Amino acid sequence: MQITRRTALAAGLSTAAAIPASRALGETGSTNRRRVLRVAHLTDAHVLPGKGAGDGLAMCLEHAQDKGADFIIFGGDNVMNVDGDGRETAAAQLDVFKGSVKHACSKPHHCVIGNHDILRLDPVDGKKWATDAFGLDNRYGEFAVPGSGSWQFIALDSTSPEGGGYKGRFDDEQLDWLERTLRDVPEDQHVCIVSHIPILAACVYFDGENEKSGNWRVPGAWMHIDARRLKDLFLKHPQVKLCLSGHIHLVDVVDYLGVRYACNGAVSGGWWRGDYHEFAPGYALVDLFDDGSSEIEFFNYGWVTRE
């Protein structure tokens, strides 16, 4: 049975092969560049009691650190689903996440908020729960990465609740802050932006039969509906070099107008039931260089589905 977003708990197959991003997309920059940082981007862990999810996250963390990760970014949807049916078990889901991180993560790390991390999908109290849960001062902002050299890191809150659901959109408060912050970035610095929902991605087109109507249809909950505005903003600020995301559980790298956009799969794969489409449970290693270039490689870490 094919796994779709609406049938997320359907069974799938599991593999342990590493799936690298294309070398044509993953290698740019000068020949004498120097790597300054290796970041592991672990998104969509969707941990919960059961299914071995806590062990899976710990296994992924150990794999990433064995590969030489200097810093860990948890890209959102860190817990299974406190936004909906899982809200009654929110504390238990969070305990599994924290336990795995405490046990298996020896590197500094930072968490980004995903839509499933927002308690009851409440735009105020639910997001406050998430910031408290993951030890954040705010739902968006700059965060420090030791040894990052000329790179600066910004985490943003993608989820804009509306009409009982949500859209991928940065609210006016965040956009105002982002515009002011980018204006202050020195020309010789490089910016990595991390959001849960992709700002720009190609893989969203294949997450379901989105061409069935005879035209491509990509919901605003799958990719940022304000992507045009963000594209224009980044053009004004060429220090923005890289945007990391998750949410779709698929993998791609898109280079557009000087910015690399990378959607980096899911630690949970198909929500701990196997693969999601062509991608097994995995994470991305992101190498950052002193000239503002990057290399991204997606790894499966060997997870085998448990009954």
**307 lies in a domain?**
no
Tell me, what CATH number does 123's domain have?
3.60.21.10
Instruction: State the pLDDT at residue 87.
Output: 80
* Average of per-residue pLDDT across 50-62: 97
A 10 A CB-CB count for 275 gives 21
Whether 4 shows a pLDDT value over 90: the answer reads: no
**2 lies in a domain?**
no
Say if residues 72 and 42 touch (Cβ distance below 8 Å).
Answer: yes
Q: In 3-state terms, what secondary structure has residue 59?
A: helix
* Average of per-residue pLDDT across 157-186: 97
**25 lies in a domain?**
no
Give the pLDDT confidence of 272-298 residue by residue, as tens digits. Answer: 999 999 999 999 999 999 999 999 999
* Angle in degrees, 0-180, between the axes of helices 53-66 and 90-104, rounded to the nearest 10: 30
For 188, phi and psi rounded to 5 degrees? Answer: -90, 10
Question: Which residue range is the domain that position 114 belongs to?
Answer: 34-300
* Average of per-residue pLDDT across 208-215: 94
Whether 68 shows a pLDDT value over 50: the answer reads: yes
**12 lies in a domain?**
no
**163 lies in a domain?**
yes
Kindly state the tokens that stand for 153. Answer: 């890191």
**193 lies in a domain?**
yes
**130 lies in a domain?**
yes
Instruction: State the pLDDT at residue 85.
Output: 76
Give the pLDDT confidence of 95-121 residue by residue, as tens digits. Answer: 999 999 999 999 999 999 999 999 999
What is the rounded CA–CA span in Å between residue 96 and residue 102? 10
Alpha helices (H) in the chain, listed in sequence order: 23-26, 53-66, 90-104, 125-133, 172-183, 227-236
Give the Cα-Cα-Cα angle 58, 59, 61 (nearest 5 degrees). 65
A 10 A CB-CB count for 183 gives 9
What is the rounded CA–CA span in Å between residue 12 and residue 73? 27
What percentage of the chain has pLDDT greater than the value 90? 86
What total of structural domains would you count in the chain? 1
**296 lies in a domain?**
yes
